[in-house]
Amino acid sequence: MLQQLGHLPMGWLLIALIAVFASVAFFVGRIGAERILLSGAPALHSRPNYHGYFVAMWAIIPAVLVALVYAIGAEPFARGQLTSELPPAFDLLSAPELQTYLDSVSLAARSSDYAGTDLVFTAVTNRYLEIIGGLNIGALALMGVGAVLGLLFARRRLAASFRARSLVERGMEGVLFLCAVVAIATTAGIVISLLYESIQFFSVIPIWEFLFGTRWNAQTEAEFGALPLFFGTFMIALIAMFVAAPIGLFSAIYLSEYAGPKARAWIKPILEILAGIPTVVYGFFALLVVAPAVRSLALWINETLINIGLASEPLLAAQPTSALAAGLVMGIMVIPFVSSLSDDVINAVPQTLRDGAYALGATKSETVRNVVVPAALPGIIAALLLAVSRAIGETMIVVMAAGKSARISMDPTSDLTTITVQIVSLMTGETGFDDPKTLSAFALGLVLFAVTLLFNVIALRVVQKYREKYD
Amino acid sequence: MTDPAASSFSTPEALKRLKRRRAADVRFRYYGLGAIFLALSALVLLVLSIGSQAVSAATYHVVRYDITLDPAVITPPGETTPEDIARNVDGFWELARDNLLETFPEANRDRASRIEVSEFITRLAVLPTARKVAARPEMVGNPITLTAPLNDDLDLYLKGQALPERRLRTGTITAVTAQEDGFALLEGQGAFTPILTALTTLQAEGVSMDEGSILITAGGATGRLHGIQAGTARLELLTGTLDAFRNSTAAARLIALPEAQRVVSDQQIAWTFALKEMGRISRVPRWTLLTNSDSTYPELAGGLAALVGSLFTMLVTALVAIPIGILAAVYLEEFAPKNRLTDFIEVNINNLAAVPSIVFGLLGAAVYINFLGMPRSAPLVGGLVLALMTFPVVIIASRAALKAVPPSVRSGALAIGASQMQTVFHHVVPLAAPGILTGAILGMARALGETAPLLLIGMVAFVGDVPTSPTDESTVMPVLIFTWANNAERAWEPMTSAMIVVLLAVLLLMNGLVVFLRRKYERRW
Amino acid sequence: MDSDHTPQAAGSVLAPAADAPPAAAPRIDCRDIKVFYGATQAIHGVSMSFPDRAVTALIGPSGCGKSTFLRCLNRMNDTIENCRVEGQILMDGQDINDHSIDPVLLRSRVGMVFQKPNPFPKSIYDNIAYGPRIHGIATSREDLDAIVEKSLRRAGLWEEVKDRLQAPGTSLSGGQQQRLCIARAIAVRPEVILMDEPCSALDPVATARIEELIDELRKRYCIVIVTHSMQQAARVSQRTAFFHLGNLVEMGETEQIFTNPREKRTEDYITGRFG
């Protein structure tokens, strides 16, 4: 019986039940209010609909709370209960192995035909379904009781002078507030999960070994010195900025100072297309076109240098995937971040400053170089910082085109690896969560988060200061 | 102070200096133009390189097999139900291969040749036919036409993308004499001079033909040439009859890459041309790109499962991110008191919008999968992760739209006795709706193209079946692109490009919608 | 209405005859100036001339075209898109709108001061030195220092800023900023200084300082000032031109315009009946 209940589609059921409770309660409230009117009350403070909303609100608040607790707590509880009931033989399993076992149990429980292969497994799955079934029926019952109690409580408060509308509106404001708080919850979730896993990691690997070690060999779980990753990330971001900074800045200057309104109306959206292309497409472009081109250029340089006697052996590594290829493509990707923000700040420079320079007999380029750009400099620096932060956090391009060897090399045609590449390769393997390998991905994530956050905060501060100055 | 000499418009020094300054002015302008040109040409290069590859994948070659559904093979004793027929891929495949063996008797000579000929058709390629027959079991015993995609390497070869080769025509071959060693002697006045000339040119270009092949084709027959002289050559017949060469000018192909290093052999090339000559190979639009699911064989692979997976993921993202984003924006813009908490929320939103997407992937892996025990690889989890990334974007766009509604609208509504909640939801939000909507669409477009966080929650797994609910194992379009791009076989390159074009088309559509909405509802107060 | 472009005879009480012969040959001579913004015409054929070493005030109600006209004199209208200027503006007998004249050189001879002080985001020193640097007026560092000091002295700002020349120009008060802008204009050795309502953003005390400065500068330069305030026009100028709806209504000695205008419209404006 309970086992059958374990198969209930709880997600839909919970949502449907809440909807049913809400509509029933709404009509109860509305009819109640209309009765008050019919019974001869002079006028209601709030329209009958608001009485309906009020009762509905009280009915669904307990129901939603129960549903939330169920959604968050049911699975962990069932697993904990199951683990405590497992026969002693299971003690031989390590924590990750147990985790994997439970994963397959809960996966099997979701499908209908798991029986047959392994008697123990089937028995465990059946027991798991029983526990879940019990939780399901408990949650549904609790929801029903809560909703009915809420409904009755609210129904009793209805009266002609009852300020249903104010209370409903206060409730809605609460909902709006909760939505806004999701932003804090998300940040908190990021910080807590990164910190929690990282602290576990640093209890195994000392933090200084992680930050300053020069050997990275996470796949074999041997060495966790992340310096080569920081170097690779920095190198590729630097190459990207060498592309994006001049092109983005000069484009912004041309668009805001030279281009006519017509050209501007065409070029600006086209440049912004670059920002809308998914990064995986850039990655494929890097792999398909840029990396082979970089490699043949590097081979040509090697050959030429040897031919003219400047080198006796190949100078450049000329690998099939390279930091240069990834950096170039990433540079193209961040051009619009530089150009569109710079364009904004250049446009915000007051016309009177330009007039002042022109009136002195400055040419257009002198005005731009000596007056407009210096005036917009804080904003431009902020744009560049945001672009760097974008480049550091970018994943797909480097995963596809930068390579995986953790080394410190100044040769841009050699393949380097980055923080993000390593996070992806560490997290896509089949390992449990307590593995130092997986944990190291979170430590890398923490570094990435901290660095990009720092860049963003500085950039936003600068922009804000700058806005104040010219507003 | 007013120096009369300096005050003229045209003192030589002033003019000289001016010339320099004007030149600098022009140079500066060109720097700007150059920057824009570089950015645009990068975009054009990207679009062209991917687009041209995609065009090649838009069509593919299929082969027709006229077979009879032999009951002994299709419905062996004990396996006669429609389900059995649908599962009997091997039987259908055997019939198709036997059909090729019949067409090319020379393929029966050894095991290697039989393997070569069986590579023409992938086992799974007969699955649609098997299902069709399973639906109408009365077809068993009757002749049918089975159409299946040609092997991906041969398909690429026919499109001219697999091998560099030089094509030319021989002169007229007047005499063909079979010899005892199995070779044939071809003769013709100067018939092979064009080949000799081409060989010399290739040699001059540094291309070695020492281990390469020279194939000639006439009618349905193809052979390999040896010992070429101006008037004679020895032919090793690969398929067809010698007669086909008599009194003909044959099409010659010079392939420099040694056979051992290629994915297609001379024999397979010969058979392909023979099939083409018979009219059994045709080039058709590759609709399977949108109607098939992923496969390990590029000629069978399609993006349907990923499309549906993307759809489910976006559905979850939209249902979570858009309402929360809009309501949060309404709160912050219309209700929030100015205090520390609100400031903190604002800072959080601005920072969340700039957090690298992969960090959200880590969050999803740690919280949704590890802590809450949600299923890996499911659109539900993917959608929730993307929702966390998207809702700051929705909030920022919605707040801008709400800000643009003039205060007079609010005071007007408040003045006739509406409550603040009524004012906001009856008057302000409807006026801001177009702006909110465009922001939401842009946020969804960004989420649709996102890859990295989904890799971390296991959406990179191979998925052969179309998901039917948000909790099924699934992948999404950008991840499929990533997976295909990592596959080694050459044929995946155009397939990946074609999938990218599909993705970009969807994104373009969404952005077009935004532009349309902006044009239609743009309002200035 | 444009019969008045020949200089009037001397004899104004407002113009001290001692250091500036008011009836000198005109520094700038404008003939039939028309300005269009796209299809709309902003100035309808104005002819007038500006004498050297004197202040000419352009007055009139808002939108009458006086600022637009002023901006013709150093071709600042070139920087505005779809703005077109017709007619001749002669300086040294050369038409400044001629193709052979580079506006960059023209502007080095015709300086301009704007409504709102607009110091560059640089130090006080660099603000002044910028013009001489780009035009190659100074040959050495000492030269440049001398020009900066001289210009600041002439603008009456030297005593206030000489100890903080490296402070940013924006750190000065509004009135000081405007004098800095005047010093900046003087530093390129112009012959003509155009002032577009230079005191409209300043308080009365700062305004008084600027007016004193203008009176001082009159001894060396041809000054054209657009002003909203008739009192200011009466105080600082020797000649006054009244604009209305893009037309030059009347021009003459300041005293005559204010005491005995020939045109009814001028009188109405001066007595405050419209404007």
Mean pLDDT in runs of 10 for chain B (525 residues)?
A: 44 82 92 95 95 91 92 85 86 91 89 90 88 88 91 90 87 87 87 90 87 89 89 90 88 90 90 92 91 87 92 95 95 90 88 92 90 83 95 93 90 87 90 90 93 90 83 90 90 93 94 86 65
Q: What is the pLDDT of residue B2?
A: 40
Co-location of B326 and B187 in the same domain: no
Give phi and psi for B143, each to the nearest 5. Answer: -75, 140
Asked whether residue B200 falls in the same domain as residue B122, the answer is: no
Of the candidate ranges A236-240, C10-14, C34-38, the one whose mean pLDDT is the lowest: C10-14
pLDDT, mean of residues A176-204 = 92
**B344: enclosing H helix or E strand:** helix B340-352
pLDDT at A117 over 70: no
Q: Hey, is the C-beta of C111 within 8 angstroms of any chain A C-beta?
A: yes
Whether C60 and C118 have beta carbons less than 8 Å apart is answered as no
Residues in chain A: 471
Asked if C116 has any chain A CB less than 8 Å from its own CB, the reply is yes
H helical segments located in chain C: 66-72, 103-109, 124-135, 141-154, 158-161, 174-187, 204-217, 230-236, 254-259, 264-270
CA–CA gap between residue A264 and residue B314 (Å, rounded):
33
* Closest in A247, A363, A453 to B351, CB measured: A453
Q: Is the Cβ–Cβ distance between B384 and B360 less than 8 Å?
A: no
- Quick check: C189 and B22 CB within 8 A? no
Structure tokens at A27: 């009509």
Residues A328 and A437 in one domain: yes
Which of B101, B117, B150 is the C-terminal boundary of a domain? Answer: B150
Per-residue model confidence as pLDDT tens digits over C167-212: 998 889 989 999 999 999 999 889 999 999 999 888 898 899 899 9
Q: How many residues does chain B have?
A: 525
Quick check: B21 and C134 CB within 8 A?
A: yes
Look at residue B319 and tell me if it is in a domain.
Answer: yes
To the nearest whole angstrom, how far is the Cα of B500 from the nearest Cα of chain A?
7
**Inside any domain, residue B24:** no
Partners of B254 in the beta sheet? B166, B214
Q: Is residue A189 part of a domain?
A: no
Interface test with C, best of A360, A364, A366, A373 (most C CBs within 10 A): A360
Residue A295 near residue A322 (C-beta atoms within 8 A): yes
Half-sphere exposure of A136 (CA within 13 A, CB side): 20
Residues A152 and A243 grouped into a single domain: no
Domain termination residue (choose one: B89, B118, B150): B150
pLDDT for A114 beyond 80: no
Cα–Cα distance list, B433 to A48, B400, B523 (Å)? 28, 11, 12
Strands C222-226 and C192-196: parallel
Examine the fold and report which residue of B98, B125, B150 is the final residue of a domain before the chain moves on: B150
What is the least distance, in Å, from the CA of C217 to any CA of chain B?
Answer: 12
Q: How far is A342 from chain C (nearest CA, A)?
A: 17
Residues A432 and A312 in one domain: yes
Q: Among A260, A358, A375, select the one facing C76 at the smallest CB separation.
A: A358
Q: Is residue B8 part of a domain?
A: no
C191–B7: do the CB atoms touch at under 8 Å?
yes
Tell if the CB–CB gap between C109 and B18 is shorter than 8 Å: no
Verify whether the Cβ–Cβ distance A356 to C81 is below 8 Å: no
3-state secondary structure of B108: helix
Position A410 confidence tier, pLDDT thresholds 50, 70, 90: confident
**Closest CA in chain B for residue A461:** B347
Cβ pair A353:C118 closer than 8 A: yes
ipTM of the complex: 0.89
First to last CA, chain B: 53
Q: Which residues of A332-371 are buried (b: 16+ CB within 10 A; e: fewer)?
A: bbbbbbbbbbbbebbebbeeebbbbbbbbbbbbbbbbebb
B146 lies in the same domain as B171: no
- A19 and A142 belong to one structural domain: yes
Contact B475/B500 with Cβ under 8 angstroms?
A: no
Question: CB–CB of C220 and B9 under 8 A?
Answer: no
Mean pLDDT computed over A325-342: 94
The b-or-e profile of B463-478 (16+ CB within 10 A means b, else e) is: beeebeebbbbbbbbb
| Number of domains present in the structure of chain B | 3
The subunits that touch chain A, with at least 3 C-beta pairs less than 8 Å apart, are B, C
In A191-308 the beta strands, taken as DSSP E runs, fall at 216-217, 223-224
Helical pair A164-204 and B379-404, crossing angle rounded to 10 deg = 130
- What is the three-class DSSP state of B173? strand
C121 close to A (CB below 8 A): yes
With CA atoms as reference, the chain C residue closest to B1 would be C189
Q: How far is B38 from chain C (nearest CA, A)?
A: 27
Tell whether B117 and B184 lie within a shared domain: no
Report the CATH number that the domain containing residue A249 is assigned in CATH: 1.10.3720.10
Distance CA B345, CA B349 (A): 6
CATH code where residue B234 lies: 2.40.10
CB-CB neighbors (< 8 A) of A250 in chain B: 31-32, 34-36
Q: Considering only CB atoms, which chain B residues are within 8 Å of C220?
A: 1-2
**Does residue A451 sit within a domain?**
yes
Query: A48-85 vs A10-38: helix axis angle to the nearest 10?
Result: 150
Q: Nearest-CA distance from B449 to chain A in Å?
A: 5
Q: Which of C28, C105, C191, C216 to mutate to test the interface with B (most CBs of B within 10 A)?
A: C105
pLDDT band at A112 (very low <50, low <70, confident <90, very high): low
Let me know if residue A200 belongs to a domain: no
Reported as a single tens digit per residue, the pLDDT across C6-26 is 344 333 333 333 444 444 568
Q: Check if C200 contacts A (Cβ < 8 Å).
A: no
Indicate the Cα dihedral angle C199, C202, C206, C209, nearest 10°: 0
- Count other C-beta atoms under 10 Å from residue A236's C-beta: 33
Chain C residue closest in CA terms to B21: C134
The pLDDT score that the predictor gives to residue A396 is 94
**Do the domain assignments include residue A205?**
no
Contacts of B90 (CB under 8 A, 6+ apart): B123
β-bridge pairing B175-178 and B184-187: antiparallel
Residue B310 in domain: yes
Could you tell me the domains of chain C? 26-270 (3.40.50.300)
Distance CA B134, CA B75 (A): 10
Q: Would you say residue A284 has pLDDT above 90?
A: yes
A274 and A156 in one domain? no
Pairwise CB contact (< 8 Å): B358 & A395: yes
Taking CB atoms and an 8 Å limit, are A355 and C79 in contact across chains?
Answer: yes
**Same domain membership, residue A231 and residue A116:** no
Residue at token pair 């799974």: B124
For the packed helices A164-204 and B340-352, what is the interaxial angle rounded to 10 degrees? 60
A386: confidence class by pLDDT, cuts 50, 70, 90:
very high
For residues A261 and A390, state if they share a domain: yes
**Bridging pattern class, strands C40-51 and C26-37:** antiparallel
Same domain, residue pair B358 and B457: yes
C-alpha closest to that of C90 among B9, B339, A447: B9
- Per-residue burial over A409-427, b = 16 or more CB atoms within 10 Å of its CB, e = otherwise: bebbbbbbbbbbbbbbbbb
| Sequence letter at residue B68 | T
Are β-strands B165-173 and C247-253 bridged in parallel, bridged antiparallel, or unpaired?
A: unpaired
Residue B1 located in a structural domain: no
Residues in chain B closer than 8 A to A247 (CB atoms): 35, 38-39
Last-in-domain residue among A162, A177, A192: A162
Q: Are residues A310 and A427 in the same domain?
A: yes
Q: Is residue A39 part of a domain?
A: yes
* Residue ranges making up the domain that contains A9: 2-162
Alpha-carbon distance of B492 to B298, in angstroms, equals 6
**Cα→Cα distances C13→A343, B293, B298, B396, C16, Å:** 54, 98, 98, 65, 7
Cβ B328–A180 below 8 Å, yes or no?
yes
C79 part of contact set with chain A, CB < 8 Å? yes
Residue, of C163 and B161, whose pLDDT is higher:
C163
Residue B37 in any domain: the answer is no
B515 and B439 both lie in a single domain: yes
Res. C1 pLDDT band, cuts 50 70 90: very low
How many structural domains are present in chain A? 2
Out of B3, B6, B21, the one facing C104 most closely (by C-beta) is: B21
Cα gap B300→B288, rounded to integer Å? 7
Q: Is residue B21 a part of any domain in this protein?
A: no
Tokens of C15: 């113009």
DSSP 8-state assignment for residue B28: H
Q: What is the pLDDT of residue C24?
A: 55
Residue A286 lies inside a defined structural domain of this protein: yes
C-alpha to C-alpha distance for B461 and B377, rounded to whole angstroms: 7
What is the Cα B200 distance to its own chain's centre? 40
A170 found inside a domain: no
Whether A169 is covered by a domain: the verdict is no
Are B43 and A110 an interchain contact pair (Cβ–Cβ within 8 Å)?
A: no
User: Cβ(A331)–Cβ(A242) under 8 Å?
Assistant: yes
Expressed as residue numbers, the domain containing B333 is: 304-521
- For residue B29, the distance in angstroms to the closest alpha carbon of chain C comes to 16
In chain B, residues with a C-beta closer than 8 Å to the C-beta of A400 are 482, 485-486
User: Measured between CA atoms, how close is C28 to chain B, in angstroms?
Assistant: 14
- Contacting residues of C for A354, CB less than 8 Å apart: 79
Select the residue from B46, B352, B516 to test the A interface by mutation, using most A Cβ atoms within 10 A.
Answer: B46
Task: Quote the pLDDT of residue A430.
Answer: 66
Give the model confidence (pLDDT) of A438-466 as tens digits. Answer: 889 999 999 999 999 999 989 888 877 77
**Which residues from chain A sit within 8 angstroms of residue C188, using beta carbons?**
360-361
B490/B53 Cα distance (integer angstroms): 11
- The closest alpha carbon to A348, from A201, A467, A205, belongs to A467
Q: Which residues numbered 8-67 in B keep a CB inside 8 Å of some CB on C?
A: 8-9, 13-14, 17-18, 21-22
User: Measured between alpha carbons, how far is residue A359 from residues A109, C37, C101, C122 in Å?
Assistant: 80, 20, 15, 17
pLDDT digits (tens, 9 = 90+) for B483-508: 999 888 888 999 999 999 999 999 99
Same domain, A150 and A215: no
Of A445, A446, A456, A391, the closest CA to residue A422 belongs to: A445
Residues B438 and B390 in one domain: yes
Q: Are residues A217 and A114 in the same domain?
A: no
The whole-number pLDDT of residue C79 equals: 81
Which C residues in the span 1-40 are in contact with A, Cβ-Cβ below 8 Å?
A: none
The C-alpha of C94 sits at a distance from chain B's nearest C-alpha, in angstroms, of: 9
Enumerate the residues of chain B whose CB falls inside 8 A of the CB of residue C53. none
Q: Is the sign of the CA dihedral A387, A390, A392, A395 positive or negative?
A: negative
Tell me, yes or no, whether B344 and B394 share the same domain.
yes
Q: What pLDDT sits at residue B510?
A: 92
Asked whether the beta carbons of residue B7 and residue C101 sit closer than 8 angstroms, the reply is no
Is residue B317 within a helix (H) or strand (E), and if so which, with residue range?
helix B304-330
Nearest CA in chain B to C110: B7
